[in-house]
Amino acid sequence: MTKKLFALLILALGVAAAGFGQVASQPAVQAPVKAADIAGVWELTMQTPQGEMTRDATFTQEKDIIKMTMEGPMGEMKGEGTVKENDVQWTITMSTPNGDFALIFKAKVEGDKMTGEIAMGDMGTSTFTAKKKK
């Protein structure tokens, strides 16, 4: 009986030791990655069917929510969107004689630079770059 109890104790310690080793080898929980700070004025250079177009865009940011304004060919354009880590997305909706038209901007932020794509509905897509002004 004592041998069985001793064997059971050894087995229990072995299982506990194996479990302890697994806990120690698990990766540490990482803190969530903070959204990129894009607040401020950015110089956007967009490739359009009419050629390259450069405009200043002003972004405000509260946590991961952004709002932007930019002068366009038909006056001031306003957009809203989000930032998640280094990914940013915003939409500008313009009213035209043919109905509302949405421009959807998606980009990666790296420091004071941004590169991305603009979805322009039936007109396809285009690319853009941006540099944060100091």
Closest CA to 104 of 79, 77, 85: 79
**CATH architecture, domain defined by 40-132:** Beta Barrel (2.40)
Sequence-distant (6+) residues with CB within 8 A of 70 are: 44, 55, 56, 57, 58, 76, 77, 79, 92
User: How much is the pLDDT for 28?
Assistant: 65
Strands annotated E in the chain? 40-48, 51-62, 65-72, 75-84, 87-96, 99-110, 113-119, 125-132
Instruction: State residue 98's pLDDT score.
Output: 85
Q: Give domain limits for the chain.
A: 40-132
List, for residues 87-133, the tens digit of each pLDDT value: 999 999 988 888 888 999 999 999 999 999 999 988 899 999 999 99
